[in-house]
C-alpha cells in the first residue's frame, strides 16, 4: 500500500485539490483508494462528499486513541465509501482543533501510522493536511512513505519551500527514515508567464525534485469544487484532467523521487 501526504505550510497552494484529483485518478485506474482529511477546514471532505454528514470521522479516530478504557476500534469504522467507485474517505472533523492539545501532550503522534500499517483493503492512501506544521501534519508525515509538495510559482512560495524541506528533513531523521519527498508539484501554472518558468528553472538548478507535469490554472477547477466532483469524473477530457492523469503516471513511474529530505 502506497501512502502519500500532500503538504505545504503555505495556504492557498491547492493541497486539497491536488489530493482529491490524484486520488480520483487512482480510483479511476482501478486502485482501491482512501483519502484521509486532516484539515479542520474539511475542504477535501466537502469536495468528495458534497457536504454529507458522517457518523464517524478522523476526529473520532484520534479521540479513541486517548481512551485508556476502550479497546481500539477497527480503523475501518472511520472510513466511508464515496459515491465514486474505488474511492473511500476518512472525513475531517471540526473537533480536530479541540483535540490537538490533548493528543500532543499524550504523544499520540504515531497512532495514524500504526492504524495505516494495520489497514487492509486499499492500494493507495492520500492524506490531505492543514496549512500549518501542527500535530496532524506531523502525524501524516510520520505515517506516509512519500511527500508531495504543491508549489504555485511565486517568490513567497519559493522562500517557504526551503523551510518546508528543512522541516521534512528533520522529521525524516527523527521519526520516519522511510519518508521521501517524491516531488514538487507545480500548480496553477501559467505557461505564457515568464516568472513561473524562471522560478522552476532555478529550483531545478538547485537540485530540487520538481516534477515534469504542470497543473494549469483553470476556472474548471473551481467549478469542480462547487459541484463536489473531482475533474476525472466531472470533465474526463479536459486539459487539466489530462494533466492530473499525466502527473499520476509520472508518480507511478517513480520519476522525481529524489529526496532533499535525505540530503
pLDDT mean for each 10 residues of the chain (263 residues): 94 93 98 98 96 94 84 85 98 96 96 95 97 96 97 80 91 96 92 84 93 95 97 97 98 62 40
Look at residue 260 in the predicted model and tell me its pLDDT: 41
Look at residue 72 in the predicted model and tell me its pLDDT: 64
Look at residue 256 in the predicted model and tell me its pLDDT: 44
Look at residue 70 in the predicted model and tell me its pLDDT: 60
Look at residue 212 in the predicted model and tell me its pLDDT: 95
Look at residue 68 in the predicted model and tell me its pLDDT: 64
Long-range contacts of 159-164 (CB under 8 A, 24+ apart): 160/8, 160/9, 160/10, 161/203, 161/208, 163/9, 164/7, 164/8, 164/9
Rounded to an integer, what distance in angstroms lies between the CA atom of residue 225 and that of residue 46? Answer: 8
Look at residue 160 in the predicted model and tell me its pLDDT: 83
Look at residue 51 in the predicted model and tell me its pLDDT: 84
Look at residue 177 in the predicted model and tell me its pLDDT: 96
Residues 150-169 have pLDDT tens digits of 998 777 778 888 889 999 99
Look at residue 106 in the predicted model and tell me its pLDDT: 95
Residues 212-259 have pLDDT tens digits of 999 999 999 999 999 999 999 999 999 999 999 999 999 999 844 444
CB-based contact 215:185 (threshold 8 Å): yes
Look at residue 59 in the predicted model and tell me its pLDDT: 97
CATH class of the structural domain 2-126+141-254: alpha beta
Rounded to an integer, what distance in angstroms lies between the CA atom of residue 218 and that of residue 230? Answer: 13
Look at residue 153 in the predicted model and tell me its pLDDT: 79
Amino acid at each position: 500500500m502506497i501512502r502519500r501526504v500532500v503538504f505545504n505550510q503555505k495556504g492557498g497552494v491547492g493541497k486539497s485539490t491536488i489530493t482529491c484529483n490524484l486520488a480520483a485518478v487512482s480510483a479511476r485506474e482501478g486502485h482501491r483508494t482512501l483519502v484521509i482529511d486532516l484539515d479542520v477546514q474539511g475542504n477535501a471532505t466537502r469536495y468528495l462528499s458534497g457536504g454529507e454528514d458522517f457518523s464517524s470521522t478522523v476526529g473520532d479516530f484520534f479521540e479513541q486513541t486517548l481512551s485508556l478504557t476502550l479497546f481500539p476500534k477497527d480503523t475501518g469504522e472511520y472510513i466511508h465509501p464515496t459515491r465514486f467507485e474505488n474511492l473511500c474517505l476518512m472525513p475531517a472533523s471540526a473537533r480536530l482543533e479541540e483535540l490537538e492539545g490533548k493528543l500532543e501532550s499524550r504523544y499520540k503522534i504515531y497512532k495514524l501510522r500504526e492504524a495505516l500499517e494495520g489497514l487492509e483493503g486499499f492500494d493507495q492512501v492520500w492524506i490531505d493536511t492543514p496549512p500549518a506544521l501542527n500535530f496532524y501534519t506531523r502525524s501524516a508525515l510520520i505515517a506516509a512513505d512519500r511527500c508531495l509538495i504543491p508549489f504555485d510559482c511565486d517568490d513567497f512560495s519559493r522562500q517557504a519551500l526551503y523551510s518546508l524541506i528543512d522541516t521534512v528533513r528533520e522529521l525524516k531523521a527523527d521519526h520516519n527514515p522511510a519518508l521521501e519527498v517524491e516531488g514538487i508539484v507545480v500548480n496553477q501554472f501559467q505557461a505564457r508567464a515568464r516568472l513561473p518558468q524562471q522560478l522552476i528553472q532555478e529550483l531545478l538548478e538547485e537540485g530540487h525534485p520538481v516534477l515534469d507535469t504542470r497543473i494549469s490554472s483553470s476556472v474548471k477547477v473551481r467549478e469542480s469544487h462547487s459541484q463536489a466532483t473531482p475533474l476525472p469524473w466531472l470533465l474526463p477530457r479536459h486539459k487539466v484532467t489530462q494533466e492530473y492523469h499525466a502527473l499520476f503516471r509520472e508518480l507511478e513511474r517513480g520519476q522525481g523521487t529524489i529526496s532533499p529530505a535525505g540530503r
